[in-house]
Structure 1
């Protein structure tokens, strides 16, 4: 059996140093510590209007108008991976 011992990059297989953050974690921490630039970008990518299907329109209710039982049902449905009204 012939093994290939060709040239490899000098740090091949070493991985990320212990304690080093990946790009996603570093970006999230930066957004939490300095939210201004993040919120500016977020405002540009979020839709300005939310529209639903005319046959099945979106129904919105402020959370403060929901009863405790309705909130509990929403939480349970979310934990089960289902959707509620």
Structure 2
């Protein structure tokens, strides 16, 4: 199937994968837009999108000490006190 797609598109990966590339770009834009809406004004939260990237790197600079310090329970530090965010 992959070889056939390349043959049909003059051996161009860009032509053969254009639809998939568009979907990745659209979804990446949705993620970045969502981060901007939710976290643009929150100190300690940053992100970057590598050029041509398929991923977004998000950094949370401060780990809250208790679940009451965050608006989303999933961001709370584990009860073990290890300080890692899952």
TM-score range, shorter chain: under 0.3
Q: Whose strand proportion is higher, 1 or 2?
A: 2
| Superposition TM-score, scaled by structure 2 size | 0.23
User: Whose relative contact order is higher, 1 or 2, with alpha carbons under 8 Å and at least 6 apart?
Assistant: 2
Of the two, which has the highest radius of gyration?
1
- TM-score calculated relative to the size of structure 1: 0.23
